Structure formats: C-alpha cells, structure tokens
Structure 1
Amino acid sequence: MRPHSTPGHHWDGSPRPRQPRRSLQVAAHSPSRLLRAGQTGRCRSCGNRIDWHQRTDHRPIALHPAEVATADVPEACRWHLSGGIAHPHDDGSGWCRIPHAALCPRPTTHPRATDPRLMALRRQLAVRSRRLIDTGTFTPASPTPATTLPNTDRDRPVRPVVRILLTHYLGEGPVADIRCIAQTRQRHRCTQPILDPAHPAGRWTLLPIQPHRGQLALPGGSMAVYDLNHLPYAEQLRWRAQRCTTHTAAPAAADLALADWQPLDPLLHAAHLHTRLPHPAPPQPHRR
C-alpha cells in the first residue's frame, strides 16, 4: 500500500524544505553591470557560441566560451577575466581565454592561432558550423553596404555616427530604434527606446572626420553626426549607458546586453560615413 503524502511534505508527513527562488543580481561593487545570462551569444559568421565581455576600454570582445591551456595560446591572444572585465594578458595561471576571432573558421582579420591543438579546435568549430548550416539552424550573415531607410527620412543612415561626451560612436541601428539594455522585473530586456520625446534630443550636424588614435591625418571631409554634446552631462551618460529614462532612475537593474556603441574608426567604418545631413521626406500629396 502506497502511503499518502500531502504537497510540500515527505511521505511521513514531515515538512519538505524549499529553497527560495533567487534571481540573478549584480553586486554593487562589480565593475561590470552585465548579467551572466546576457553574456552569451552566437557568432554572426560561423554560428558558434561566444561569450561577450567588456574590456578595460569599455569596448566589447567576443571570447571563446571555454578556457584553453596557456601554453597553447600565443602571448598576443591571451586574455583573462577579473570581475567580469576582460584583460588582454594572462593571469599567471595555466589557463586563459582566447578571442573567438582567433578560432573562427570564417575568414577574419584577427591573427590566427597556429598551434596544432588550436587548429584542431578550429576544425571542430568548422564542422559544427557546417552542421548548423546544413540543418538550417544558422544562416551566415552576408556583408551588406550601408543603406538608408526607405519611405521615412531621406539620407538617414541605418548605422548613425553619434557624438557623446566629445567621442564619436557608431550605433548598431537607427537612433529611434536603439533599445534600452536593462533587465525588467519579468527578467526580459527592456523594450523602451533611449530616445525619449519628453527629454531634449540630439541634432544632426556636419563635423570634420577626425582620425582614430594612432592613425595618420585623413584628407579633409565632413560626416553627418547625431550630436548630443549640447545635452546635460547626466543625459549624455544615459545615452552612453544605453538606458531609458525609467531604468536610469533605477540603477539597481542589471544589464542584459552590452551597449551597442562602437568607437568610430573612420577607416574601418568608412561605408557608414555620410556626407549629407538627413532631411525629412517631402509630404505626400493628398489623393481625393
């Protein structure tokens, strides 16, 4: 005869302890605001899993998700994590992290690792990538030239150059479509845009093209920039942190993604530089 047990109790009637459900949180002293759940992703070129981490210069880097023996990795490709921040050297241990670009089976400008064991790992990623493509799970992203938004604003770039705190950044999408990266109470990414009609907005202007650090002076020219330099300092910090006004007032909320801003490199991002200011589309004639 099977003994009867009540929910929440053992078969003998003793209470069953329940572990409280804990949500992911970021410590207040952590240098990174990114949750572990928001660090994983897929490479757009090969479809393999990658881990996104923030570097010391606040730029994102995609690392291979597994640690690799330090002796197998060239010194220029060794990285280690400390407090969620990626540092471009090893920490003295026998294991380190390696950029995914050094192992990606797709062509890349990153220096390739030539160690036989790392080449074997690259072949494994290539086989996995081919399996994902054959099963239809993954479709490689094809490079497309910079275009403009149709039927909305003429000459408005899809990836705009934005000036925040005297620094030029390249956005991942149109200004009006840039979303907040904070986590909501439902543990999803916030759907609100960072462009708030109730707050002062930026303005389009033509600014001279400045060379990136370490580059030679570029020939004279101007580019269309969405300038935020006239906004208050706190408002520019909100844009750089890529947070909506609601989550700016709630700093305890963690991030579910890295900010999409890329420091502008005029040579690398030349296809996204526009020499004309965007103008509103002309009004359509009213049809009777």
Structure 2
Amino acid sequence: MGSEDSFNRGDGGDAGRGLRLHASNPSKVLRARARGTCSWCGNIVEWFDRFDGGRIPLTPMPFPSHRVPRRHQWSVDRGMAHSGTVGDQCRIPHPAICPALEHIGQEPELARMTQVLGVNTRKLIDSGRFVPPSEVPDDEDEVEQPEPENAAADGNIRHVLSHGSVLKICPGRIEDLQCVADAEGTGRRCENPVFDASEGGWTQVDIPPAAGRNGKAILLTYRGRMWAWEIQPLDYMDALRWLWQKCPVHQNAPEAHDRELIDFSTARHAPFILAERPRGYEPVRETGESGGGAPQFSEAERTQCAADGCWNGTIVPVGEGWLCWQCAKRARTRETVRRKWQKNPQPVRRLPRAPIPEQQAAEELSDATALFVHDASPTESLIDDGFTAWDENTPF
C-alpha cells in the first residue's frame, strides 16, 4: 500500500482501523501528517519526498498540465515527487505561487493563482486564523525549506551535515539531532539520537557559491572552506537514515514528526559556518589500525588546485602545481593551440590597397578641409570686426 493511502487516521473516519506503510514504499512520510500550511502565507500545502532526497511543498490539488509552464510541472508516484508530468495533470510547487514572495516576470498562468492565494491570505489574516511573520522570504528556497522551530535554540550553533555533494544543516549540534519516528508503545517521539560517531567525522568541505557581493564576501572570509560532519555509512540505507533523520532502531519506521534537517544555504546560514574544527569529537578516520584493533585518526591534508580562481582540491598526495581535471583540460587545450601556431605560424593577411593618384588625393584633402572652412555669416562678420576694433584701440 502506498504512503498516500497508508496512515492511522486521527479524525475518527476509520477509528480502530490500523493502516501501515508497506516495507517497499520509497517514502516514509504519512499522508495524514504531510498536509500543512505555509509558514509565510498560511495557505494549504502538501509535503512530499523528492526523488533527490529532499522535500518539496506542492499544491494539494492537481492542475491541467497544458496550463502550467513545463518547469513548474511535478508529478507524484508512490509518495515521491518527480519533476515533469506523466499524464494530463500535474502539481505546482508552492514557492512558485506563494503570495509572500515577489515574483518578477511570473508567467500569466501562475500570476492568477498567486493572486487567488493572496486574497485567501488576506482573509486568513483578517479572521485571525493566520499571523504573518515579521520578515518576508528572500527567495523560493526559503519558502521550500523553512527553518525549524527549534533552530539555534541552544546558542548560536548549528552544525552542517555532509554526504557527497549534499549539505544539510541541523537545528543545533549534530549529537542533539533527534529521531522523527514514534517510540513503540508510548506513541511519543523517539528520544534516540541520529548521531553515531562510528559513521562519520569532521572534515572540511567546499562552501557552495552564492550570488551577489555578499556571497563573494562569504567565500573570501572563509577562503571557500568550512567544517562539516561528513557521514561515512556502510551502505546507501545507512546514508538515508541520516538524511531522513532516523535512529538505528527506527530506520524503516514511518515519519511521525517533521524533519529538522534542511538544505544548507550559504546566504541564509552564513552565521553558522565553522572556520575551526569543533572539539570533543572523533577526528577524521585514517586507514590502518594499531593497539589491538583501535582505529587511528588524523586530519586529512587537502591540496588546492593551482589555477587562479579554482577552489577544487584533493586529499590524494600530489605534486606541486597540481591542477584539477577541469583546469588540466583547459591547460591541455591551450598548449595544443600554442604548439599548433608555433609549428605552422599563419601570417597576418592584409588586403592590398590600390595606390591613390596624387590629383585624387589632393581633391580628397580639399574636400575634407571644406568641411571645417566656410564663409562667415553677417553676424560672425560683425563679431569679428568688433574684436578687431577692440584690439586696435586697447592700450598696452
């Protein structure tokens, strides 16, 4: 049974009837908890797991595909949201029509929907059912990934979780990240942590580039690098356990609470970037064991690409002047072109110019002079005579 039809109803409709998620279902989100309201405009949205591991809020009802721009068409299959459409209907991401955002150059088809949602937001505010936040979102990513309620509750510390190219930011410290499943028998949220020191370590990762002058200033301040907890799971399911915020006991259990891991944004989360490695954790794991099987740890040294403006690097031992594969490809192309021109230099071809006879050259020169020499007008003559008389009568 798919996740869209598998949940324990709490509205009394199917009292006493227990439904469960199928073990093969790719999404573990209960549909009863997936419907909520946008924290920026108050309109109803439905949350779905994306095919790339993230989450996205979609409209609660589908729309005809021919009336929605192609880049805003999303479809749902077994609780997973995919970009594009399969049939003649599709769903629209809520950030594309959220009235709390300023949509510059919005398509006419979506502008009407945004206007309708804006009117509904005004009605919710007037009736007291929705209190808008004091600030407005900066972009669609902030609407798609709202900050959790307990963000930075324990001081100004929020650790970043890294897995490959995926960067997630925690609401607080990495060891305080709590499981989102319900404990068996109690019906309350599981108190087990997601953190497992044996499945990762602190390492330096590249800071994602951000647009604008502020984004460049952040990269220059931290030299494009920050410290993050990189998970090193044994298999893909263990990686999903971290990204889906589950403890080892409830790895395949349905989600009973909202996830608090959101995508890291350089502009929004700049105050939480770590320039120094946190203390009190296990360092980066090193190959080799000693002392009765106890693993040895050390920090991996990273070599940055020697090309100007390139932030790529490697932890593999390389020589001085090492270039990443992108810069090395550009260097080979330039060297090939340079050698080609050195081997077969191509002379600069100039178009022959026919000699100009002396009489024709003299006529062209007189025509050019005539553009600047002309007969004086009566007014100019009076002015010139006045200046001449003034010069003759002026004593020195």
Q: Same fold (TM over 0.5)?
A: yes
Q: Is residue 2:120 matched to residue 1:106?
A: no
- Correspondence 1:207-226 to 2 at 5 A: 207-211=204-208, 220-226=223-229
Q: 2:91 aligns with which of 73, 86, 97?
A: 97
1:130 counterpart residue number: 122
Aligned to 2:393: none
Query: Hey, what does 1:284 align to over in structure 2?
Result: none
Change (3 A) 1:224 1:140: farther
Which structure carries more relative contact order (alpha carbon 8 Å, separation 6+)?
A: 1
Aligned residue pairs total: 245
Distance 1:236 1:120, change over 3 A: closer
The structure with the larger Rg is 2
**AA paired with 2:204?**
L
Is there any run of 5+ residues in structure 1 with no aligned partner, and where? 1-18, 281-288
- Give 1:56 deviation, angstroms: 1.1
**Counterpart residue type for residue 261 of structure 2:** W
Q: Which residue does 2:24 correspond to in 1?
A: 29
- State whether structure 2 residue 230 is matched by structure 1 residue 247: no
Distance 2:271 2:103 in 1: 17
1:114-125 matches, cutoff 5 A:
114-115=108-109, 118-125=110-117
From the two aligned structures, give the one with the greater helix fraction. 2
The 8 Å contact of residues 201 and 228 in structure 1, kept in 2 or not, is answered as: no
2:55 is aligned, of 46, 55, 60, to 60
TM-score of the two chains, using structure 1 as the length reference = 0.68
TM-align CA RMSD: 3.8
> In the alignment, is the contact (CA less than 8 A) between 1:50 and 1:64 conserved in 2?
yes
Q: Residues 246 and 203 of structure 1: is their aligned pair in 2 closer, same or farther, counting only changes over 3 Å?
A: closer
Give 1:100's aligned amino acid.
H
Structure 1 window deviating more from structure 2 (53-62 vs 28-37): it is 28-37
Instruction: Please name the residue that 1:7 is paired with.
Output: none
> Where in structure 2 are the equivalents of 1:52-201 lying within 5 Å?
52-93=47-88, 95-107=89-101, 112-115=106-109, 118-142=110-134, 157=157, 159-164=158-163, 167-185=166-184, 190-195=189-194, 200=197
How far apart are residue 50 of structure 1 and its match? Answer: 0.6
Deviation (angstroms), 1:77: 0.8
Distance 2:244 2:188 in 1: 14
Rounded Cα–Cα distance in structure 1 between residues aligned with 2:248 and 2:101? 41
- The answer as to whether partners of 1:35 and 1:255 remain within 8 angstroms in 2 is yes
Structure 1 pair 166/80, CA: closer, same or farther in 2 (3 Å)? Answer: closer
Taking a change above 3 Å as real, the CA distance of residues 47 and 172 of structure 1, as seen in their structure-2 partners, is farther
Tell me: CA distance 1:53–1:195, structure 2 relative to 1, closer, same or farther (3 Å).
closer
Partner residue, 2:318: none
Contact kept? 1:224, 1:276, Cα under 8 Å? yes
The amino acid of 2:246's aligned partner reads R
Larger displacement relative to structure 2 (96-105 or 165-174): 165-174
Secondary structure, in 3 states, of the residue corresponding to 1:247? coil
Deviations 1:119-153 (A, max 9, x none): 33322321221232234332333459x9x968x66
Q: More deviation in 35-44 or 163-172?
A: 163-172
Relative to structure 1, is the Cα distance of residues 227 and 187 closer, same or farther in structure 2, using a 3 angstrom cutoff?
A: same
**Cα-to-partner distance string for 1:203-234 (whole Å, 9 max, x where unaligned):** 8746142447xxxx9653332323444x7657
Unaligned runs of 5+ in 2: 1-13, 137-146, 210-215, 281-396
Percent identity for Structure 1 against Structure 2: 27
Which amino acid letter does the alignment assign opposite residue 181 of structure 2? A
